[in-house]
Amino acid sequence: MKVIVKENYDEMSHQAAKIIADLVKSKPDCVLGFSAGASPIGTYKELVRMHREGLDFSAVKAFNVDEYLGFGIDLSKPYDRDRSFARFMHEELFRHINLKKENIKILDGLAKEPEKHCAWYEEEIKRAGGIDLQILGIGRNGHLAFNEPGSSLSSRARIQALAKETLDDNFENFFKKTGIKRQEMPRLALTLGIGTILEMRHLLLLANGKKKANVVAKTLEGPITSQVTASALQLHSGKVTVVLDREAASKLKRQKISSSSSRV
């Protein structure tokens, strides 16, 4: 596992985007896994900038790691009212780069048979050859994707009930400003499992801010436990890169600060 600590969010985002861009350049038909949330927004902005400067996504295949059950992309709604993760990825990244529509696979929160849909999605990942690099955020309670505390570390794609901490954070960060009432928020989600995530070749975890410092320390330096599902990163047999800003890294006992802010 490689942990990179940058001075601030912008430098963290530059570093993460460079890692992704280097893969796209070396393997143009790579399979990328994406995540919604606040942490990767800066990284996606950097990828858009790099695309405008020549980075080619035309052969890349894309998957998303999770979605709210009952939500799906609705371009007829304004972005601040459509809180699906599919819409998030469309607005923050996909519509700005030359990723082909047929190469995008996203968990469908509107699927009529969500359990069968999850099984189909796992098979689609296998048919694509597996995910080369998966971008991940981390919840305040240590969840990866929507694998809440108590999730099996061998779990597969499934329906997941959302924990109180996740509901609280999602309401404050995403739903409150839309006018959606707390009781109207989705309480279930579709998510790839921890077992699925551990099969991916390269995991790229992003975290920023003081609120993430405690859980980052538990994830990287604490025991492996289903109560902090992100700690399963320690079990990954392939490549794991963790990119943090200084605040998110502040509780780590061992850290190396890299102040470089150079862009590709």
What are the catalytic residues? 66, 141, 143, 148
Tell me the C-alpha to C-alpha distance, in Å, between residue 185 and each of 175, 177, 179, 199: 7, 12, 11, 31
Longest Cα separation, the chain: 49
| Dist CA 255 CA 264 (whole Å) | 24
- Burial class (CB within 10 angstroms; exposed 0-12, middle 13-18, buried 19+) of 175: middle
Neighbours of 96 (CB within 10 A): 17
Rg over alpha carbons for the chain, rounded to the nearest Å, is 17
* Amino acid, res. 153: L
Amino acid at residue number 134: Q
The helix/strand/coil state of 32 is strand
* Pick from 243, 264, 253: nearest CA to 6: 243
Q: SS3 for 78-126, per residue?
A: CCCCCCCHHHHHHHHCHHHCCCCHHHEECCCCCCCCHHHHHHHHHHHHH
The answer to whether 248 and 212 are in contact (CB under 8 A) is: yes
